[in-house]
Chains A and B, each alone.
Chain A
Amino acid sequence: MSASAASLLQVKRLRKFFPIVKGVFRKTVGHVRAVDDVSFDVREGETLGLVGESGCGKTTASRCILRALAPTDGEILFRRKDGSIVDLAPMTRPQLRPLRSEIQMIFQDPFGSLNPRMTLFDNVGEPLLVSGMRNRGERTDRVAELLKLVGLRAEFMHRFPHAFSGGQRQRIGIARALATNPRLVVADEPVSALDVSVQAQVLNLLLELQQRLKLTFLFVAHDLSVVRHISDRVAVMYVGQIVELAPTEAIFSRPRHPYTAALMRAVPVPDPRVAAGDVVLKGEVPSPAKPPAGCYFHPRCPHATDRCRSEAPALRELAPGHFTRCHLAEALTLGPA
């Protein structure tokens, strides 16, 4: 993918393998290829949705970008506030420290991600303290401002998380992520633990905050309708690889990878007049420890040919900005969702 001037983040050939160890001597007998050659960029101010089923490597990839994990291989190029481009992949913890305030995270579980023994002031204010805001009065003002930003009352800052509902807690988590004025926010399944009525509120809040604060989101989720709703572009992962990446409108109206098409067809349509589709995908996701030869998707693909069984396809640009990892992309007519 070409280096665009507007990219805030460029991930190049990212790999993360976890060793499988066996026996008393902890001998490495193999590797789980959790993230296997993933490349994409995130442009300033956009939302890139990263979708896939459990075990596809979407969370591992996002954790590598946050450098909560050390990647096995590849580059993670981040453009700093001053315009300089740094590679996060080989950095050590002390080197990463000054960068932490620029990349923040919103977690999935609004119950597990807040410290129950700390008040909202301490929960939301901690990143400020870590990034050097020592003055308590200053922190109080900032926390009050943040709580108002996410639609909570400033007086709440002296309460503990247990006093709040799931949706409110997720707002608190968002306030904490925004405390240090980050430019890139990685949100890992931020609404999947919420009820439908509350989910809509949080999605609206994220869209509003993005416009107001010029935020860039990497939005990791498994729910296709949520990803479609919030993303400018969508990347679909399968067994550690990106199989398709395209603008939201393009990928949903005309998917160019059989897995994307099948994933969309599998989402139950909330309309009883639409007949339930046939089960397109038989079988199960292969293990990333023993991926099949050729295209990783071929054992489940209804279109697979001999070439798919032996030769691994590369991610290639089919139409401007529309990438797919399929030998047959030109020949296939895949239906929209």
Chain B
Amino acid sequence: MTEPLLRVRDLHVTFDLDEGTVRAVDGASFDVMPGQVVGIVGESGCGKSVTMKAILQLVDEPGRLGGGEILYRARATDGEEVVDLAKLPRRGTRMRAIRGAEIALIPQEPMAAFSPVHTVGEQIVEAIELHQRQWRPEGGRLSRADARAIVVDLFRDVGISMPEQRIDAYSWQLSGGLRQRAMIAMALSCKPRLLIADEPTTAIDVTTQAQVLALLRELQRKYGTAIIFITHDLGVIAQMASEVVVMYLGRVMEKGPVDAIFHAPKHPYTRALLRSMPSLHGATRVALPTITGALPHPFNRPAGCPFHPRCEEAIAGRCATRVPRMQPIDERQAVSCFLHHDAAEAS
């Protein structure tokens, strides 16, 4: 059996603010296999973006990693070695060699991610020069012309027409779709083995989104890159991911293969989330099933299972006091809910 490329174990990220401590990620665990697309879905404040920042060691003050392991199978001189990214110094050479080269990020807002005063080509060339070992494993310097040629090829790969001209464009001269394609080219420029896509299509229109999703699917097949796909859009998850992790208030509620999550969801939150979506096929102008209440304020995390105040199936005397542990349903699906098992976390 193949080993996971990334194993996140009991990850905690906390933000120490004047008003109190926010537990943004509160014991998240999941695996990413090589070449797999894992979708992380959840509403705002569920910790999905913070988890990704933690993997890349990009959590800014006052946030900090409060425990847990991020085991990544990194390339090494002789094969591979497992490193715990959570233990690496943020600004150390090892982390900087991994960030961008081994694990790359496609951010939500390509407009904000590109510098407006450098051409997109310059910015990608810079990344390639920085991580040139990815292109020249045997050593030797990569010339600027070589790097430019790589960028032109990448642009062609991601479907940017007239790549020789577009390489000298500024990000603000490109349309939303082209800008996101350039961002994908940049993320792929150093041949990462893991790509983190943080809501990559949220800011763009639906017809452009369809193009970008098709492109990501095609590139994923071609290069076999593993992708962690973060989104709140269940439609996008269904079309992109093979494995799904459902998060709520910093905790993983349920995880499993995409088909099981959509057709045999076990956690009341997953079920409620799927029901509350308007669809292109259901009845119109009737009341949608809702999840009662609102997401609690981050300072007011409920005790016990974080979802219990909004859960219709909460068990009196148990869900409000004890935290359910992640329990396997079968080989691939696991759920953190007392309806499916009795095990609580010792805390």
- Interface residues of chain A, those whose CB is within 8 Å of chain B, are 47, 53-54, 165-168, 195-201, 203-204, 207-208, 222, 224-226, 228-232, 248-249, 252, 262-274, 276-282, 284-285, 337
Contact = CB atoms under 8 A, between A and B. Distances in A.
B310 to A, nearest CB: 8
B278 A226 contact: yes
Contacts of A281: 207, 210-211
Given A208-B287, A284-B175, A285-B205, 19 more contacts: A54-B205, A166-B44, A196-B234, A204-B287, A204-B290, A226-B278, A231-B284, A248-B284, A266-B206, A267-B235, A268-B209, A269-B239, A270-B237, A272-B239, A272-B263, A274-B238, A280-B207, A284-B177, A337-B280
Given A263-B206, A270-B234, A197 B285 contact: no
Contact of B262 (A54, A197, A271): A271
Interface stretch (B77-85, B131-139, B184-192, B269-277): B269-277
B232 interface: yes
Contacts, number: 142
B207 A269 contact: no
Contacts of B176: 54
Contacts of A197: 43, 272-273, 276, 290-291, 295
A225 B279 contact: yes
B234 to A, nearest CB: 4
Contacts of A266: 206-207, 209-210
A337 B281 CA distance: 8
Nearest to B206: A266
Interface in B191-214: 205-211, 213-214
Contacts of B9: none
A167 B273 contact: no
B32 to A, nearest CB: 18
Contacts of B239: 268-269, 272, 276
Contact of A167 (B280, B286, B294, B297): B294
B284 A270 contact: no
B325 to A, nearest CB: 24
A262 to B, nearest CB: 7
A200 B206 CA distance: 20
B315 interface: no
Contacts of B272: 197
Contact of B277 (A204, A232, A263, A270): A270
14 contacts: A53-B208, A54-B176, A166-B44, A197-B290, A208-B287, A222-B205, A263-B206, A266-B206, A268-B238, A270-B234, A270-B238, A277-B210, A278-B214, A280-B210
A223 to B, nearest CB: 8
A231 B235 CA distance: 21
Contacts of B277: 196, 200, 225, 270
Contact of A200 (B208, B217, B276, B285): B276
Nearest to B261: A272
B299 to A, nearest CB: 12
B233 A264 contact: no
Contacts of A198: 43, 294-295
Contact of A168 (B43, B209, B294): B294
A278 B209 CA distance: 12
A264 B279 CA distance: 11
Contacts of B258: 272
A195 B289 CA distance: 14
B206 A229 contact: no
A284 B206 CA distance: 11
Contacts of B279: 225, 270
A195 B232 contact: yes
B295 A204 contact: no
A8 B207 CA distance: 33
Contacts of B274: 270
7 A-B pairs with the lowest CB-CB distances in the bound complex, closest first:
A268-B235, A229-B278, A195-B43, A53-B205, A197-B291, A266-B210, A200-B276
B236 interface: yes
Nearest to A55: B205
Contact of B238 (A167, A204, A269): A269
B206 A224 contact: yes
A91 to B, nearest CB: 33
B288 interface: yes
Given A266-B209, A279-B211, A281-B210, A200 B278 contact: yes
A25 to B, nearest CB: 25
A273 B284 contact: no
B280 A276 contact: no
Contacts of A280: 207, 210
Interface in B72-129: none
B256 to A, nearest CB: 12
A336 to B, nearest CB: 9
B214 A200 contact: no
B259 interface: yes
B44 A229 contact: no
A53 B207 contact: yes
A271 B286 CA distance: 22
A5 B212 CA distance: 46
A195 B213 contact: no
B11 to A, nearest CB: 23
Contacts of B217: 276
Contacts of B178: 284
Contact of B206 (A53, A203, A208): A53
B288 A204 contact: yes
Given A167-B294, A232-B285, A196 B235 contact: no
Nearest to B274: A270
B290 A262 contact: no
With a 10 A CB-CB cut-off, give which of B176, B281, B285 has the most chain A CB atoms.
B285
A161 B209 CA distance: 34
Contacts of B207: 53, 262-263, 266, 280-281, 285
A23 B87 CA distance: 57
A196 to B, nearest CB: 6
B278 A273 contact: no
A224 B206 CA distance: 9
